[in-house]
Amino acid sequence: MILVRLFFTLLILGPIVLGILNLRQYRALSIPKQPPYYTALINSAVLYAIAFNVIFFLQELFLTLGKKAIGLETTLYHDNHSWEGSSELASLMQGSGALAIFILGLICLAWFRVIRNSQSIWKLLVLWLAFHGLIQSVPQVMIAFFDANIDVGQALVGYLDLNQALLVLLSLVSIVATALISMWMSRPLLELAPAELDLSNPKLRLKYIRSIAVGAALLGCLFVIPFRVPPVTQILAPVLLFIFTVPWIWSISARIENIKSIPNSVNEKILWQPLAMLLGLLLFFRIVLAPGVAF
């Protein structure tokens, strides 16, 4: 228990420590004046919100389908699902959503590696889908250690009855993986920077990542709110995800070297297609899913 709490504390405090080290190490470093990257921030925020909601929807969809497969009557909502009936496998199926989006995250990660050199803005959507697929699933193992009543906790503890030692080990792996996935994201996000940006300068890397990742994720969280409420407690999910992950993306960016810029249209103008997709997704959530879809 103490070891898991220690690692969890490091997950939160690690980026702060790195940030302080960055400040001390690079405070004397000068940078040329750069325009703000508002276009990249807005485009990335919209794609971040799309990815968050698609992955969350798929998690609830596969939770619904998993229970349907064992004979339960299920209903899918915009922010949850419900079921009627009983089955010995019901608690096991509580882990089907997290498993599905984890696999989807790996698929999107492999897809991104294939299209990494693309200059299309949609490459960033695939990257955010990979991120959310992994980051909305992997930390659930860690959270299950603290609260066995969450979905994954019911599967691991309630049905599989994992012993304490194995649960501790899986929780530690989950915490470390959350940090590593977040830090890995920094490089492909920095590769989106304009060709004229000197990515060998740590301060310039930090400045760009503040737009394409930190600012985008913050604004993306605001875009997610209409998809989640009511109830207002649903806002916690995107906020906690931000706290656990985005500071790692930011803090490690100053220490990544040999970045190859792959200029992308995300920096050029605010594109209407992602905005239209986000709006269409919102209408689907509010009109179709909010009343409930029976399976």
Token duo for residue 27: 């405070």
For 196, which DSSP code?
A: T
Residue 23: its pLDDT value, please? 87
User: What tokens appear for 250 in the block?
Assistant: 């930011």
pLDDT tens across the length of the chain (295 residues): 788 889 999 999 999 999 999 988 888 787 777 778 999 999 999 999 999 999 999 999 999 999 999 988 998 998 888 888 888 888 899 999 999 999 999 999 999 999 999 989 999 999 999 999 999 999 999 998 888 888 898 998 888 888 888 999 999 999 999 999 999 999 999 999 998 888 889 999 999 999 999 999 999 999 999 998 887 778 889 999 999 999 999 999 999 988 988 988 899 899 999 999 999 999 999 999 998 888 8
Cis peptide before 230 (omega within 30 of 0): yes
Give the model's pLDDT for residue 280: 97
* Rounded Cα–Cα distance for residues 209 and 249 (Å): 8
Quote the crossing angle between the two packed helices 38-69 and 122-135, to the nearest 10°: 50
Q: What is the pLDDT of residue 158?
A: 84
Q: Give the per-residue pLDDT at 250.
A: 96
83 forms beta bridges with: 74
pLDDT for the residue numbered 163: 87
